[in-house]
């Protein structure tokens, strides 16, 4: 394992301006529409990948160290280093980094991701249990899939009325599903809650540069508690309240926030599937083959499409860790408090490791190729990996299958109809038309 190399000023500037700044500009906690459109126009992920590939070659795979103000940040470029950092969570590499703590405290001060080691020991098993992290199909999948079916049916009739689907209409439907799955049917139309969360997430984008709206954060907490104390069976909050009523409300804001990313991934997957007739047939055939069994189906191909969307266009732009004590790398010791970054778009599209780097290849999630690769981390990896992974794939694959059944075409979808796929796709700009000719 090579020792981290200190980048020279020109190299460090390139990493900051071409890799890190575009990620931060798009909004780590809630995307800024103007910036995501800008990122697509400039294909910022392509540039970021090129910069990191050049630096990896020049420094023979050594981790790249640079200064960010008073902080030292190390950008890793090899899967073995990704593994060391993620497997070494929460000690000596904590996910509760300085930046994340400041950002997430705006709306989820008790969230697992920013918890101390002592709180983590309690909150992680709680999250795993309620989200049923190790179950491909959640025990409450039936009411969850019913929520998807209901929302998809309403959306389908709206699409038949207008002949179109855009990202805003999709997001409204997605939030109905998220609210029902998380807080129960009574919450389905709670726009006030969605708006409050949106305001707090907007503040969180600015991390410690924005003052905290403690009153609004408390309001959100109480609103969630009101659903928790009168919880309807089948929702996540009901299961959470049953398990531990004190821990439950503090964890729910993260679940609501994180579901947003799944909506973006589903919409991008839909855009590719509806631009490629063969893919659409495969998604529909997969759903048909699984229909009629007992309880909601697993939909392996639909899940693989959502995973592939997350590989190609990761929604967690960088996975970050801080070291809690000095760590030694190839003979060099870095002090406690060093930041580590795994830039997802670089690892997920690395042509030196992946022959399908820029191609649509859901089958690589089914035949085990992608599972063996520590560089593919849409849901992170190791002891702090996403406990919501299976739940997300369940809800997203069922919605994808239902929307694939609509006769939709991706507008201006030529660039998604064939490989290589674009490095950056602004999901907020995606649009679909009913019954138009294939691209
Ligand atoms: C497409 C959707 C999602 C993606 C891509 C995703 C990805 C991730 C990633 C990369 C992490 C690790 C972050 C880090 O290390 O800084 C994470 C953590 C987490 N996710 Fe997700 N997530 C998604 C949706 C969800 C949902 C819907 C839930 C809950 C319902 C959830 C619950 C969590 C929790 C509780 C953690 C913290 C884990 C820990 O710190 O031990 N996620 N997620």
CA triple 296-301-305, angle to 5 deg: 115
Global pTM reads 0.97
- Ligand 1 lining (C-beta closer than 6 Å): 95, 112-113, 124, 127, 131, 254-255, 258-259, 261-262, 265, 310, 315-316, 319-320, 378-380, 384, 386-388, 391-392
Between the CA of 439 and the centroid of ligand 1 the distance, in Å, is 35
Using CA atoms, how far residue 152 sits from 145, 157, 163, 187, in Å, is: 10, 9, 15, 17
Bridge-based pairing state of the strands 5-6 and 64-68: parallel
Q: How many residues does the chain have?
A: 439
Top mutation candidate among 88, 266, 388 for ligand 1, by most atoms within 8 Å of CB: 388
pLDDT by residue, tens only, the chain of 439 residues: 899 999 999 999 999 999 999 999 999 999 999 999 999 999 999 999 999 999 999 999 999 999 999 999 999 999 999 999 999 999 999 999 999 999 999 999 999 999 999 999 999 999 999 999 999 999 999 999 999 999 999 999 999 999 999 999 999 999 999 999 999 999 999 999 999 999 999 999 999 999 999 999 999 999 999 999 888 889 999 999 999 999 999 999 999 999 999 999 999 999 999 999 999 999 999 888 877 777 899 999 999 999 999 999 999 999 999 999 999 999 999 999 999 999 999 999 999 999 999 999 999 999 999 988 999 999 999 999 999 999 999 999 999 999 999 999 999 899 999 999 999 999 999 999 998 766 6
Tell whether 102 is covered by a domain: yes
Please report whether residue 167 resides in a domain: yes
Give residue 339's domain range.
5-434
Three-class SS of residue 327? strand
Estimate the crossing angle of helix 248-273 against helix 191-204, to 10 degrees: 90
In a domain, 363, yes or no: yes
**Residue 22: which CATH number?**
1.10.630.10
Centroid of chain to Cα 135: 19
* pLDDT tens-place string over residues 248-268: 999 999 999 999 999 999 999
Whether 82 maps to a domain, the answer reads yes
Is 439 domain-assigned?
no
Residue 311 CA to ligand 1 centre (angstroms): 15
296, part of any domain: yes
Tell me if 346 is assigned to some domain: yes
Q: What is the pLDDT of residue 438?
A: 66
Nearest to 302 by CA among 256, 365, 344, 358: 365
Query: Both tokens of residue 311?
Result: 């590989």
Number of structural domains the chain divides into: 1
Judge whether 352 and 389 are in contact, CB under 8 Å. Answer: no
Q: Considering the domain boundaries, does residue 340 fall inside one?
A: yes
Residue of the nearest CA to atom 4 in ligand 1? 379
Closest protein CA for atom 33 of ligand 1: 386
């Amino acid at each position: 394992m090579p020792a981290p190399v200190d980048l020279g000023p020109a190299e460090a500037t390139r990493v900051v301006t071409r890799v890190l700044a575009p990620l931060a500009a798009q909004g780590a906690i809630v995307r800024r529409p103007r910036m995501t459109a800008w990122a697509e126009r400039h294909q910022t992920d392509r540039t970021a990948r090129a910069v990191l590939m050049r630096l990896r070659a020049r420094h023979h795979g050594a981790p790249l160290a640079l200064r960010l103000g008073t902080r030292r940040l190390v950008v890793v470029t090899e899967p073995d280093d990704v593994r060391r950092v993620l497997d070494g969570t929460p000690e000596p590499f904590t996910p509760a980094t300085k930046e994340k703590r400041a950002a997430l405290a705006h709306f989820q001060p008790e969230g697992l991701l920013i918890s101390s080691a002592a709180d983590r020991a309690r909150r992680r098993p709680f999250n795993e249990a309620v989200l049923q992290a190790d179950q491909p199909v959640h025990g409450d999948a039936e009411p969850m899939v019913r929520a998807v079916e209901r929302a998809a049916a309403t959306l389908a009739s709206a699409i038949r009325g207008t002949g179109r689907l855009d990202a805003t209409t999709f997001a409204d439907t997605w939030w109905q599903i998220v609210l029902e799955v998380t807080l129960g049917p009574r919450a389905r139309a709670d726009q006030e809650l969605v708006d409050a969360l949106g305001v707090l997430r907007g503040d969180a984008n600015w991390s410690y540069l924005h003052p905290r709206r403690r009153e609004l954060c408390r309001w959100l907490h109480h609103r969630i508690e009101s659903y928790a104390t009168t919880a309807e069976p089948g929702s996540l909050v009901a299961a959470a309240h049953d398990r531990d009523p004190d821990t439950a409300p503090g964890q729910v804001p993260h679940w609501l926030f994180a579901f947003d990313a799944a909506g973006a991934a589903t919409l991008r997957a839909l855009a590719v599937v509806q631009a490629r007739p063969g893919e659409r047939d495969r998604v529909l055939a997969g759903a048909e083959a699984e229909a009629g069994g007992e309880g909601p189906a697993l939909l392996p191909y639909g899940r693989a499409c959502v995973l592939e969307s997350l590989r190609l266009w990761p929604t967690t732009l960088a996975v970050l860790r801080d070291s809690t004590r000095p760590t030694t790398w190839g003979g060099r010791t870095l002090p406690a408090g060093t930041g580590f970054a795994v830039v997802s778009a670089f690892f997920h599209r690395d042509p030196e490791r992946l022959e399908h780097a820029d191609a649509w290849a859901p089958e690589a999630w089914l035949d085990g190729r992608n599972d063996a690769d520590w560089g593919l981390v849409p849901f992170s990896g190791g002891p702090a990996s996403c406990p919501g992974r299976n739940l997300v794939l369940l809800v997203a694959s069922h919605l994808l299958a239902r929307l694939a059944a609509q006769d939709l075409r991706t507008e201006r979808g030529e660039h998604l109809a064939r490989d290589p796929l674009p490095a950056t796709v602004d999901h907020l700009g995606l649009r679909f038309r009913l019954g138009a000719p294939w691209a």
